[in-house]
């Protein structure tokens, strides 16, 4: 069955479940207002075919999916040095947890929990304009100009006490070089990038193509660096649900509390699903079901 029919079929199958379970992220006021009953999917294959269904062109807040792009920027700019202050182990804890940081002297477990992404952002701030750098990178990766949702960034800055605590806590261990407010301003903006499923499927295409950007032919990262991002997505990309994702879906995935999830089938395709209602771990409920149906119907898996 062609991918287009598979996506249409999944959207049709799951649409009746819209609005039945889960809750939109209400700890960020601007996200609490997003209507829950939206659902889209899009994919891009390594040879440039695209398929999309449902609300695949509606822009949403990419939130923690930005952590993949921040990590890519960090790896590109710093290579191995990036790992001096950031680990590579799953945390088994919620994405905004503080508990391990004290025992581990301010070194975050991995770059996909909030503390890890804040530490990566600190390194990016030291190297130049981390906010403009993110827009430039992501726009280049999807072949279209993308923007920040300033309302979401401001909403998070006004209520992001946990992230402010994480930044200050790492700073107290000497693990943040720049002013915490500057680092968090960049981090909140990264989370507030607005993109659609189709734009995200395009922007993550380099992860299915050993680091090659399909839109300008640039080798964004080396093959080895790209495989490492995929490995971290598989083990850490969905926080304390990473085991369940590997078990049910079997692909590297990265989620965000805006309801988006990107998934990668190395050497084949990149995929994005979006539906704003989340489960208790902060992952899109219908998004996870959609990915499970997709891998069941296509037989695609890294295992
Ligand atoms: O920092 C936060 O809490 C949000 N801006 C991002 C969290 C997030 O997306 C976690 N994802 N599932």
CATH of the domain at 116: 3.40.710.10
Rounded CA separation 35/86 (Å): 36
Q: How many CA atoms lie within 13 A of 111 on its CB side?
A: 29
Active-site residue (options: 24, 175, 239, 255): 239
Tell me what the mean pLDDT of segment 100-129 comes to. Answer: 96
Query: Tell me, what DSSP letter sits at residue 295?
Result: H
Structural domain boundaries, residue 238: 3-298
Determine whether the shortest distance from the Cβ of 64 to ligand 1 is under 6 A.
yes
> Would you give the distance in Å from CA 182 to the centre of its chain?
21
Share of the chain above pLDDT 90, in %: 96
Q: Which are the contacts of 151, defined by CB distance < 8 A and separation ≥ 6?
A: 30
Q: If you count DSSP H runs as helices and E runs as strands, how many of each does the chain have, helices first? A: 14, 8
How far CA 25 is from CA of 152, 230, 300, 302, in Å, comes to 12, 26, 30, 30
Active-site residue (options: 138, 257, 262, 264): 257
Determine whether the shortest distance from the Cβ of 237 to ligand 1 is under 6 A.
no
In a domain, 221, yes or no: yes
Determine whether the shortest distance from the Cβ of 91 to ligand 1 is under 6 A.
no
Identify which of 167, 257, 279 to mutate to test ligand 1's pocket (most ligand atoms within 8 A of the CB): 257
Determine whether the shortest distance from the Cβ of 256 to ligand 1 is under 6 A.
yes
Active-site residue 239, yes or no? Answer: yes
The pLDDT, as a whole number, for residue 200 is 98
In a domain, 93, yes or no: yes
In a domain, 220, yes or no: yes
Task: Tell me which residue of 187, 155, 185, 235 sits closest to 73, measured CA to CA.
Answer: 187
The pLDDT, as a whole number, for residue 2 is 94
Nearest atom of ligand 1 to the alpha carbon of 188: 5
The pLDDT, as a whole number, for residue 66 is 98
In a domain, 303, yes or no: no
Active-site residue 289, yes or no? Answer: no
pLDDT band at 19 (very low <50, low <70, confident <90, very high): confident
Active-site residue 254, yes or no? Answer: no
Determine whether the shortest distance from the Cβ of 187 to ligand 1 is under 6 A.
no
Active-site residue 64, yes or no? Answer: yes
In a domain, 266, yes or no: yes
Active-site residue 27, yes or no? Answer: no
Q: How many CB atoms lie within 10 A of CB 27?
A: 14
Q: Return the beta strands (E) in 69-198 as ranges.
A: 147-148, 193-195
Share of the chain above pLDDT 70, in %: 100
Q: Please tell me the total count of domains within the chain.
A: 1
278 pLDDT more than 90 = yes
Angle at 284 between CA 42 and CA 159, to 5 degrees: 115
Q: Which are the contacts of 71, defined by CB distance < 8 A and separation ≥ 6?
A: 111, 112, 117, 120, 229, 232
pLDDT band at 205 (very low <50, low <70, confident <90, very high): very high
In a domain, 132, yes or no: yes
Determine whether the shortest distance from the Cβ of 159 to ligand 1 is under 6 A.
no
In a domain, 147, yes or no: yes
The pLDDT, as a whole number, for residue 130 is 97
CB-based burial of residue 136 (10 Å sphere; 0-12 exposed, 13-18 middle, 19+ buried)? Answer: middle
The pLDDT, as a whole number, for residue 84 is 94
Supply the mean pLDDT for the chain: 96
pLDDT band at 1 (very low <50, low <70, confident <90, very high): confident
In a domain, 137, yes or no: yes
Protein residue whose Cα sits closest to atom 11 of ligand 1? 256
Distance 49 CA to ligand 1 centre (A): 30
């Amino acid at each position: 069955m062609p991918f287009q029919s598979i996506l249409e079929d999944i959207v049709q199958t799951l649409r009746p479940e819209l609005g039945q379970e889960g809750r939109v992220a209400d700890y960020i006021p601007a996200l609490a207002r997003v209507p829950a009953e939206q659902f889209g999917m899009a994919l891009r294959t390594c040879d440039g075919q695209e398929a999309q269904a449902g609300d695949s062109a509606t822009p949403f807040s990419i939130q923690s999916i930005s952590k993949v792009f921040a990590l890519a920027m960090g790896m590109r700019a710093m290579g191995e040095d990036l790992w001096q202050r950031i680990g590579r182990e799953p945390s088994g804890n919620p994405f905004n947890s503080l508990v391990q940081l004290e025992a581990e002297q301010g070194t975050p477990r991995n770059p996909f929990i909030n503390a890890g992404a804040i530490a990566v952002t600190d390194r990016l701030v030291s190297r130049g304009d981390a906010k403009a750098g993110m827009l430039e990178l992501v726009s280049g990766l999807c072949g279209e100009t993308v923007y920040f949702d300033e309302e979401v960034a401001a909403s998070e800055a006004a209520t992001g006490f946990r992230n402010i605590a994480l930044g200050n806590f790492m700073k107290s261990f000497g693990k943040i070089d720049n002013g915490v407010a500057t680092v968090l301003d960049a981090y909140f903006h990264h989370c507030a990038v607005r993109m659609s499923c189709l734009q995200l499927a395009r922007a993550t295409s380099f992860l299915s193509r050993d680091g090659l950007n399909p839109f300008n032919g640039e080798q964004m990262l080396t093959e080895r660096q790209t495989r490492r991002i995929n490995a971290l997505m598989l083990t850490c990309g969905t926080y304390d649900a990473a085991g369940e994702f590997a078990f049910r879906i079997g692909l590297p995935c990265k989620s965000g509390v805006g309801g988006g999830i990107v998934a990668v089938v190395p050497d084949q395709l990149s995929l994005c699903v979006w539906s704003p209602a989340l489960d208790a771990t902060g992952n899109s409920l219908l998004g996870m079901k959609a990915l499970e149906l997709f891998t069941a119907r296509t037989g695609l898996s890294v295992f």
